[in-house]
Structure 1
């Protein structure tokens, strides 16, 4: 006799005050300033492509029971509003000041980054440990910093034909 198909677990109970949306898991507290939605303008370029401008939206969220931040990003052409790029992933800060990040891009590229954060200076420095599914990209660095309430970042990239070069930079305001 076949056993019945197991039923999925019931949904979690409604949030109590100890696990409300405003509660922050202690593991992400040092970089909890990222939580929320950020929007602004950026500029991109590279020795092998024309410069461009874009509008960007970043969203950082988490559940208070997990020491991880979910991340999503979308960009649009500045003048036409046409979609350009998107990516999503997870950020996992560690108590020792290090951080691990995984990002999957809409282009099929996958990044595994490691780095460090300075909770006092509100800066996060990331360097790729692995860039997967990339025929030309060999290395990516990302630096995020909260400056005067704005979230700024710089992305650099190296390919099999170029050394590490500036690629993207933006300044975003919290919505």
Structure 2
């Protein structure tokens, strides 16, 4: 018999505020592309309470038409020492292995790519997630073979009930 509310693994507890679905809007751009706006939904879940892992999924769509744009999925593995490992597979075929830190008190997560796989142009990615007044905001920066680290995406998302 499955428990209704299984306990959260102790390693996940500092990030438990992320668990659930978040929805909002973002904007993107880069020196080599036109700026754009998008709708987005993120989901963080703890599918295996006995394991120190958070499952992550993301999808975006065009605000004007609702047409799907991008999606990615992966796993976040926080460590008791405040470090975190993240793996993300994108719908474009790109794969990211990121490492970073989280601050449970300030609710800030900073990630830096260790590896960007299957990417001909992308060389580096950083992601910073922050809880601000109950909203989840993030900034993604990217470096390519043609440019240094530049802002690429940013969004503000509200937690869904």
Q: TM-score, normalised by structure 2?
A: 0.97
Q: State the superposition RMSD in angstroms.
A: 0.8
Q: Which segments of 5 or more consecutive residues in structure 2 lack a partner in the other structure? A: none
Q: Match for 1:117 among 75, 97, 102? A: 102
Question: Which residue is equivalent to 1:99?
Answer: 84
Higher strand share: 2
1:66 is displaced (CA, Å) by: 1.3
Question: Which residue is equivalent to 1:50?
Answer: 34
Check if 1:14 corresponds to 2:14: no
Q: 2: distance between equivalents of 1:95 and 1:133?
A: 31
**Which entry has the higher C-alpha Rg, 1 or 2?**
1
Question: Which residue is equivalent to 1:166?
Answer: 151
Q: Which segments of 5 or more consecutive residues in structure 1 lack a partner in the other structure? A: 1-12
Check if 1:33 corresponds to 2:20: no
Q: 2: distance between equivalents of 1:67 and 1:144?
A: 19
Q: TM-score, normalised by structure 1?
A: 0.89
1:123-162 counterparts in 2 under 5 A? Answer: 123-162=108-147
Q: 2: distance between equivalents of 1:160 and 1:70?
A: 30
Query: Number of residues paired by the alignment?
Result: 159
